[in-house]
Amino acid sequence: MSPLRMSPGTTPSWTPRAAVAACALFSLVLAACSGDVPQGRLVNPADVKRAQPDKPVAPDSGTSKAVEEEHVEAARLDPPADMNDPRAKIPAYFQPVQVEPPFDADCTGLYGGTVTLGLLGETIDTFNPLTSNEATSSELSGLVFDTLTSYDSGAWRSRPSLAWKWEVSPDYLTWTFHLRKGVRFSDGTPMTAKDVVFSFEKTCFNPKIANSAVDGFKIGDAPLPTFQAVDDHTVIAKCAAIDALFLDHCSGVPIVPSARWKDAVEGDQPAYNSAMGAEHPEEVIGTGPYRVIQYATGEKIVYEPNPYSWRTAKNGQRLPYAERIVAKLVKDNTTRTLQFLGGGFDLMDSIQVVDFPQFSEKEKEGWFDLHRLGLSLNVTWLSFNQNPGMTPEGKPKIAPYRLKWFQDERFRRAVNHAVDRDQLVKNILDGRGEAIWSDTPRSNKSWFSEVTRFTYAPAKANALLDGMGLAKRDSDGIRLDAEGHRVSFDLMTNVENPIRIKVIAQLKDFLAAVGVEAQLKPAAFQEISKQLDDVHQWEAMVLGWGSAVPPDPLNGKNIHLSSGRLHVWYPQQPKPFRDWETAADSIISMLDRNPDPEARRPLWALYLQLQANQQSTIYLYAPNEYAASRSRIHNRRPSLLRPSTWWNFEELWTVDGK
């Protein structure tokens, strides 16, 4: 399972990767505030330079009492490197560049050495981050490409990149970006405002180049923003509508050399669609710290420092430190685990909860660190289908008597009371996770908000069900409704994920204890996907949401809006079905158009409470997130956000210089 990307959470890498969508919450960009919020408790935003964990909040539940106390990783500040070491001298392969203003990263290090990452995957589809549909390819693109602003996974907020400064007009419609002077692409050509405008207008906004980055810029029916170069180092972007996540959307657009690609974006079938294919690493030209020198199919991608790299540390050292980065592709997660434990590579993200004991045992040998990153932002939920629609044959999608239960708030609350989430976490995850009551776990530093919890109380569940007129029971102890239908439904999940199979089996037991029968129907992810999307005839479903970076609620619009494609219990509503959904929709649209963090946080808290009252989606648990890295690597600043261990790759250096 590769946590921070939404997938059916399959263990073997060869099973269909389920992208069920990234939801997740919080914008870092804007979350540099800390306000008193009427609703519930909010964890202070990450307003710190280094990856600092949120203070462990004592779990209100007794979730992990039985197991060893897990601690959230403390910031690991390496001692500064010895500047008298000959290896601290800037290597000759760096070409002289004069960047104004300089980057000034807060780190020191020694040059040389190879840092290896172990990625779960078989292949990469393309080196072009704009046209790639794979999370791994997009994450790796940060080594080679820069964007106007980038995202600091340590501090959870936007930080300057190619643009060292930006201003926004009071109406939030005009953004002025000031670019650094003296930046060059890895082929030596200067990077100017012309390239920035080209990258936006000719590649990302080009209707003939299919890409998903452009979708972020589409706000309602408003036309796309326009980018204009004022001079060589100033770009003005004019938006037609307020876009609260404008900076994040900009950080999805890699800046590419216009001179190299200007012919490739023309015509009906632009060559740019297939540019920078995996077989053509020499085409991959960016301003990032590294450049690709080799791709061995199914084996590895090798990177070397970009000689024109413009990033510098405060002490004047040119970044990156490591002389080589090797991204190793490993097809199977078990193999990846064994290879890491055998010392096969340095950095490993997304360690599965089931592998925790193996890692923590081996950690005692002292040559690597297991990073306990806190609660994952990936959440598992249970939902009932409330779709009142008809099939093409004119039959109801859900049997009317069942639909009546599912649409009844009391029924969903009763299910909540019947499910012992703590027991679930204990049995399924060995206690390495936590019960959750909303899609925003408390590890979500900027957006978590406490909501009403319908805790485990079978008596309350029974009372609610009795109150619905389902008091009568048959000989098996299953409740019957007034017309004599057994209170029974199909419970689906994707069969590729062994953990979810265990979850539905547990849920069946919990529900049976209050006289409700769940018939387990695991299905292939393709089938689940068809059901959610098209057929809508499923009855109950257990699935999960992954998270995006930044974890802003707006990245989950498809899930939260009543017209959303992934609004699971009743997707793509022509108009909000329930009053509370009307309210919820307007909260989302307010979030959309309100860039003020002070105002956005309470709005999101309100949404979470609305959703918790309704329990249209019953959030069950989030697992703990783990990553590991070898101690020979310095400047490690693991983050809960993906990629955990190597988001600051330009700062990483090796102690032994190998």
Partner 1 sequence: MLTFFLRRLLSLPPLLLVISLMTYMLLQLSPGDFYAKLEQDQKYGFDYVMQLRTSVGRVVKVAEADRAKDIGSFTIADRVYSFSAEGALLKDGSPVDPKLEQAWVKRFRLPGDSSQLWSISERGNVYRWVGWTRGYVAWFGNVITGDLGTSWSHKAPVMDVMLERLWNTLKLEIVALIIAWGLAIPLGVWSGVRPNSLLDHLCGAVAYMSLSMPGVFLSLLALFLALSTGWFPVGDMHSLDHERMGFFAQLTDAGWHIILPASVIGFTSIAYYMRQMRGQMVEAMSSDYVRTARAKGVSARRVQFVHALRNAINPLVTMFGFSLAALLSGSFLVELIFNWPGLAVVTTNAVFAKDEPLVMASVLFSALLLVAGNMFADVLLAIVDPRIRAE
Q: Which is nearer to partner 1, 426 or 630 (CB)?
A: 630
Size, binding site for partner 1 by CB under 8 A: 77
According to the binding rule CB under 8 A, does residue 490 interact with partner 1? no
Shortest separation between residue 164's beta carbon and partner 1, angstroms: 29
According to the binding rule CB under 8 A, does residue 212 interact with partner 1? yes
Shortest separation between residue 391's beta carbon and partner 1, angstroms: 9
* From 335, 360, 488, 613, residue interacting with partner 1 (rule: CB under 8 A): 335
According to the binding rule CB under 8 A, does residue 17 interact with partner 1? yes
* From 279, 282, 361, 596, residue interacting with partner 1 (rule: CB under 8 A): 279
Q: Which of 262, 261, 330, 317 is nearest to 117 (CA)?
A: 330
> Is the bond preceding 643 in cis, omega lying within 30 degrees of 0?
yes
Shortest separation between residue 533's beta carbon and partner 1, angstroms: 6
Tell me if residue 155 falls in helix, strand or coil.
coil
Site for partner 1 in 255-274 (CB under 8 A): 273-274
Shortest separation between residue 566's beta carbon and partner 1, angstroms: 6
From residue 588 to residue 627, the character string flagging contacts with partner 1 as x (rule: CB under 8 A) and all else as - is ----------------------------------------
**How are beta strands 157-160 and 149-152 bridged, if at all?**
antiparallel
> Is the bond preceding 305 in cis, omega lying within 30 degrees of 0?
no
Quick one: which segment of 36-44, 284-292, 566-574, 589-597 binds partner 1 (CB under 8 A)? 566-574
Quick one: which segment of 34-42, 59-67, 256-264, 522-530 binds partner 1 (CB under 8 A)? 522-530
* From 81, 117, 250, 532, residue interacting with partner 1 (rule: CB under 8 A): 532
Q: Measure Cα distances from 467 to 458, 460, 471, 509, 518 in Å.
A: 14, 10, 8, 22, 20
Site for partner 1 in 420-459 (CB under 8 A): none
Q: Listing from the earlier edge strand, what are the strands of the sheet with 226-231?
A: 163-168, 174-179, 234-238, 226-231
Quick one: which segment of 53-61, 388-396, 452-460, 622-630 binds partner 1 (CB under 8 A)? 388-396
Quick one: which segment of 9-17, 104-112, 433-441, 625-633 binds partner 1 (CB under 8 A)? 9-17
Cα separation, 623 vs 584, in Å, equals 27
According to the binding rule CB under 8 A, does residue 396 interact with partner 1? no
Name the percent of the chain in helix, strand, coil, to the closest 5. Answer: 25, 20, 55
Q: Which is nearer to partner 1, 165 or 395 (CB)?
A: 395
Tell me if residue 627 falls in helix, strand or coil.
strand
From residue 155 to residue 194, the character string flagging contacts with partner 1 as x (rule: CB under 8 A) and all else as - is ----------------------------------------
According to the binding rule CB under 8 A, does residue 338 interact with partner 1? yes
Cα separation, 305 vs 322, in Å, equals 8
Quick one: which segment of 44-52, 170-178, 304-312, 385-393 binds partner 1 (CB under 8 A)? 385-393
Q: Measure Cα distances from 57 to 54, 443, 620 in Å.
A: 8, 9, 19
Quick one: which segment of 196-204, 296-304, 364-372, 459-467 binds partner 1 (CB under 8 A)? 296-304
According to the binding rule CB under 8 A, does residue 292 interact with partner 1? no
Q: Which residues contact 132 (CB under 8 A, 6 or more apart)?
A: 124, 125, 126, 138, 141
According to the binding rule CB under 8 A, does residue 278 interact with partner 1? yes
Shortest separation between residue 298's beta carbon and partner 1, angstroms: 3
According to the binding rule CB under 8 A, does residue 377 interact with partner 1? no
Shortest separation between residue 604's beta carbon and partner 1, angstroms: 17
Q: Which is nearer to partner 1, 282 or 299 (CB)?
A: 299
Q: Measure Cα distances from 116 to 18, 371, 392 in Å.
A: 27, 17, 53
According to the binding rule CB under 8 A, does residue 571 interact with partner 1? yes
Q: Which residues contact 386 (CB under 8 A, 6 or more apart)?
A: 403, 406, 407, 569, 570, 577, 616
Q: Which residues contact 589 (CB under 8 A, 6 or more apart)?
A: none
Q: Please name the residue that has the structure tokens 């070898």.
A: 630
Q: Please name the residue that has the structure tokens 């979500």.
A: 444
Contact 9, 545 (CB under 8 A): no
According to the binding rule CB under 8 A, does residue 530 interact with partner 1? yes
The DSSP bridge partners found for residue 229 are 235
According to the binding rule CB under 8 A, does residue 211 interact with partner 1? yes
Q: Which is nearer to partner 1, 138 or 258 (CB)?
A: 138
Cα separation, 328 vs 117, in Å, equals 6
From residue 340 to residue 369, the character string flagging contacts with partner 1 as x (rule: CB under 8 A) and all else as - is -xx-xx------------------------
According to the binding rule CB under 8 A, does residue 400 interact with partner 1? no
DSSP characters for 109-129? -----EEEEEEE-S--SBS-T
DSSP 8-state secondary structure symbol assigned to residue 650: G
* From 179, 353, 354, 548, residue interacting with partner 1 (rule: CB under 8 A): 548
φ and ψ of 313, to 5 deg:
-90, 170
Q: Which is nearer to partner 1, 572 or 589 (CB)?
A: 572
> Is the bond preceding 595 in cis, omega lying within 30 degrees of 0?
no
Contact 584, 610 (CB under 8 A): yes
According to the binding rule CB under 8 A, does residue 147 interact with partner 1? no
Shortest separation between residue 431's beta carbon and partner 1, angstroms: 27
* From 122, 187, 466, 509, residue interacting with partner 1 (rule: CB under 8 A): 122
The amino acid at 232: D
According to the binding rule CB under 8 A, does residue 223 interact with partner 1? no
According to the binding rule CB under 8 A, does residue 576 interact with partner 1? no
